[in-house]
Amino acid sequence: MILCIEQTLLKSTRKTTEKPSDYQHSESPSHGHWLWGIAIPLLLTLIDWPFREILTTSNILMFYLLGVFFVAIRFGFWPSILASLTNAAAFAYFFAPPIFSFAIAEPENLAGLAVTMVVGTVTSKLAENVRHQARVAEQRERRASVLYRLSKELAEARLETEIIEIGVHHLYAEFGGRNTFLFPDRNGLVCYPNEPPLDISLQGADLGMARRVFNHGQMESNSIDTFSNEKALYMPLTGSTGTIGVLVLESVNPRRIFLPEQRQFLGAFINQISHALERASLAEQAKDATLKMQAETLRNSLLSSISHDLRTPLAAIVCAASTLETDRGYLNEDRKRKLASAISEEAQRMSDLTIKILEMARLEAGEVVLNRQWCAPEEVVGSALRRLDKKLKGRQVNVSMPDGQALVYVDAVLLQQVIVNLLDNADKYSPSGLPIDISVETTPFGLSIAVADRGLGIPEDLQEKIFDKFFRIHTESAQSGVGLGLPICRAIVEAHSGEIHTTNRSIGGAVFQLHLPVLEAAPTIDSEEKG
């Protein structure tokens, strides 16, 4: 019976998305095989008959024996036995004296025929064993190929839902039954997943039985033996840390599951799927742990970075306000005006710091939607300079911008913020009195803007790191700031699908260069004007 099953499984090779064929558990020779067991001896008789005067009886028996070999190899053991009996009848009637009679007069012919039948029977059995071994080897190769395809698809899957879908399709294709995977909820009770079921998913599983299997963590063989009379099999999915879920497999044809090799095959399927599910779960836990660690690191960096920058302006505000509050008429108007100005400046510093923190949080949360419009580069740069007019009052700013610059399709407000941040950064880290250089150029490939200062420059190993949040080359310095200006610039530029980097000038100082590419799908100026 096992041999027949192996041959049937060879014929059932299919893609995992195809509906499986019915599982046959016997290999009875077909009518055509029996007919060949008769036809081959008769054909050999027709071939040998014209040469009956030339060939000896032993030669004729050898021809008949070759026919038995062919039938055994091609059609199986029992058709070869029929061929052997047909050979004996044909030889006795047509070739063994007296001819046209089933009687055999010569003992030599009778002995030769007997030996031929014995040899034919033995060789037929050997041929059948060879056929069986070939079927077994081919079936094992097919199983190995199926397991390889399963493992390859599971290795490529990253999400638990993808792994479950792959497992459902492969189990349905190989074992012929609808199936589903059940997992515990937050309360530890096994239930159906929230995702919509597949067309081949099993519905209506006994959740009570599934929960018993999950709680007891039964081995696969115990589960199959226990529920062999049920319409579905409930098997635990066992990982390295214990039972992680339950597989419910519809038992359409028990022979496809209960045979020893099929049970081992099913066990290999379950092990691979269980390990893939456990891997996905551990990867998700590791991702959550990494996110928590990053959030904690970010929180610590934020507190460390803003503590100094908030404490300094707050101290100045408190000092100036308390001086004004406790004044008994000793302060003149000029002194009062300076204290009020100090309060205003320090409050503005705190406001700028708060705005940068909120802006960075908004950019990272992905809540920024670019309001792209056609605008002139000189207008964007001019607006940025006007915003910093008071701060850059005592510093020369050189703007290099050829006439006739093409319009650019950008979010003007955000791009203006980038230029403001770069100019503010250049002002902080350049000695007083030295100029800041701005160069703007539009080409068919996009918009390029460079802001250069005359400061100390940036070490090469830190030229990429300065765009990280809260990073400052000198953590404690006379310059205020929390280390968010440049990260905000990079976030805005990358939102425009551009890039920003920094290099050092040969004459001293740093250059911040940004490039915004041209959008292929950007609307034309005419369409904007019509709108």
Look at residues 284, 311, 341 and tell me which one is the last residue of a structural domain.
284
- Whether residue 234 lies inside any domain: the answer is yes
**DSSP sequence for 479-509:** S---S-HHHHHHHHHHHTT-EEEEEE-TTSS
Which position has the higher pLDDT, 80 or 360?
80
Rg (CA), the chain: 44
Same domain, 526 and 378: yes
Poorest-pLDDT segment among 147-151, 228-232, 519-523? 519-523
- In the chain, how many domains are there? 4
The amino acid sitting at 38 is I
Beta bridge partners of 451: 438, 512
Q: What is the per-residue pLDDT for 302?
A: 57
Give yes or no for a contact between 89 and 102, defined as CB atoms under 8 angstroms apart.
yes
pLDDT at 22: 39
What is the pLDDT, as a whole number, of residue 180? 87
Residues 377-432: tens digit of each pLDDT: 999 999 989 888 888 887 889 999 888 788 888 888 888 889 988 998 888 888 88
In a domain, 359, yes or no: yes
52-76 b/e with 16+ CB inside 10 Å = b? eeeeebeebbebbbebbbbbbeebb
User: Minimal CA–CA distance to 199: which of 19, 12, 399?
Assistant: 19
- At 299, is the pLDDT very low, low, confident or very high (cuts 50, 70, 90)? low
Both 309 and 410 in a single domain?
Answer: no
Q: Does 182 lie in the same domain as 108?
A: no
Amino acid identity at 470: F
Question: What percentage of the chain exceeds 70 in pLDDT?
Answer: 80
**pLDDT tens digits, 345-382:** 778 777 777 776 676 666 666 666 788 888 889 999 99
Which residues, other chains included, contact 26 with Cβ-Cβ below 8 Å and sequence gap of 6+? 1, 4
Token readout for 184 is: 């515990």
Range of weakest confidence among 106-120, 178-192, 399-413 = 106-120
Q: Is the pLDDT of residue 1 over 50?
A: no
Q: Residue 10 belongs to what domain range?
A: 2-153
Residue pointed to by tokens 């002002």: 427
Q: Quick check: 219 pLDDT over 60? A: no
For residues 514 and 501, what is the distance between their CA atoms, to the nearest angstrom?
A: 7
Q: How does the average pLDDT of the chain come out, rounded?
A: 77
Residue 289 falls within a domain, yes or no? no
CATH of the domain at 472: 3.30.565.10
Instruction: Enumerate the β-bridge partners of residue 183.
Output: 191
Dist. CA 191–CA 457, nearest whole Å: 62
Going by pLDDT thresholds of 50, 70 and 90, the confidence category of residue 514 is: very high
Do residues 325 and 401 share a domain?
no
Nearest Cα residue to 372 out of 486, 216, 194, 518? 518
% of the chain at pLDDT higher than 90: 5
Residue partners of 49: CB distance under 8 A and separation at least 6:
94
What pLDDT does residue 364 have? Answer: 63
Which CATH number fits the domain that encloses residue 318? 1.10.287
Last residue of a domain, one of 127, 153, 179: 153
**Residue range 280-305: mean pLDDT, rounded:** 75
Quick check: 346 and 313 in contact, CB under 8 A? yes
Query: Which has the higher per-residue pLDDT, 487 or 101?
Result: 487
**342: in domain:** yes
Could you tell me the pLDDT band of residue 475, with boundaries at 50, 70 and 90?
A: low
Distance of alpha carbon 340 from alpha carbon 335, whole angstroms: 9
What DSSP letter does each residue of 423-476 carry, written as one string? Answer: HHHHHHTS-TT--EEEEEEEETTEEEEEEE--S----GGGTTGGGSTT--SSSS
Highest mean pLDDT among 1-15, 142-156, 306-320, 327-341: 142-156
For residue 246, the domain's CATH number is 3.30.450.40
State how far the Cα of 127 lies from the Cα of 65, in Å rounded to an integer.
13
Based on the fold, state whether residues 170 and 255 are members of the same structural domain.
Answer: yes
Give the mean pLDDT of 284-312: 71
Q: Could you tell me whether strands 232-239 and 510-517 are parallel, antiparallel, or unpaired per DSSP bridges?
A: unpaired
Is residue 29 located within the same domain as residue 110?
Answer: yes
- Are residues 377 and 357 part of one domain? no
For the entire predicted model, the pTM comes to 0.47
User: Per the structure block, which two tokens stand in for 431?
Assistant: 């000695």
Q: Which two tokens stand for residue 282?
A: 């551990």
Length of the chain: 531
Is 290 within a domain? no
Cβ-based neighbour number of residue 352 at 10 Å: 17
Residue 436: closest CA among 402, 394, 383: 394
pLDDT for 528 equals 39
Residue 340 in any domain: the answer is yes
Alpha carbons within 13 A on the beta-carbon side of 152:
6
The CA distance from 298 to 325, in Å, is: 39
Based on the domain organization, do 119 and 67 belong to the same domain? Answer: yes
**12, two tokens:** 């059932």
More confidently predicted of 73 and 165: 165
**Residue 146 belongs to a domain:** yes
Q: What secondary structure letter does DSSP report for 51?
A: G
In the predicted model, is pLDDT for residue 451 greater than 90? Answer: yes
279 lies in the same domain as 333 = no
Q: From 347, 364, 381, give the residue that closes a domain.
A: 364
Same domain, 510 and 407: yes
CB–CB of 472/483 below 8 Å? Answer: yes
Q: Are residues 409 and 310 in the same domain?
A: no
**Residue 226 scores a pLDDT above 60:** no
Domain presence at residue 294: no
Q: Cis link prior to 107 (omega < 30° from 0)?
A: no
Which segments of 281-418 are extended strands (E)? Answer: 373-375, 397-400, 408-410
Q: Are residues 39 and 92 in the same domain?
A: yes
- Residue 92: HSE in the Cβ half-sphere, 13 Å Cα cutoff: 18
Q: Do the beta carbons of residue 267 and residue 237 sit within 8 Å?
A: no
Per-residue model confidence as pLDDT tens digits over 242-266: 888 888 888 776 666 767 777 888 8
Is 489 or 12 the better-scoring residue by pLDDT?
489
Backbone dihedral angles phi then psi of residue 410, each to the nearest 5 degrees? -140, 175
| Strand partners of residue 447 | 442, 516
